[in-house]
Amino acid sequence: MYYSFDVNFFLPFLILGNVPASFVREPKSIQVVEGKTGTMDCEVAGYPVPKVTWFRNGREILEGRKFKMTHIGNIHTLVINEVFEEDCGDIVVKVYNKGGTKTARASLQIQGKLTQFKDAL
Domains of the chain, each with CATH number or no CATH: 18-120 (2.60.40.10)
pTM of the prediction? 0.79
pLDDT at 117: 42
Give tens-digit pLDDT for 24-48.
Answer: 999 999 999 999 999 999 999 999 9
The whole-angstrom separation of Cα 111 and Cα 79 is 16
Strands (DSSP E) found in the chain: 19-25, 30-32, 38-47, 51-56, 59-60, 67-72, 75-80, 89-97, 100-110
51-99 confidence digits (pLDDT tens): 999 999 999 999 999 999 999 999 999 999 999 999 999 999 999 999 9
Q: What is the pLDDT of residue 14?
A: 54
pLDDT of residue 80: 97
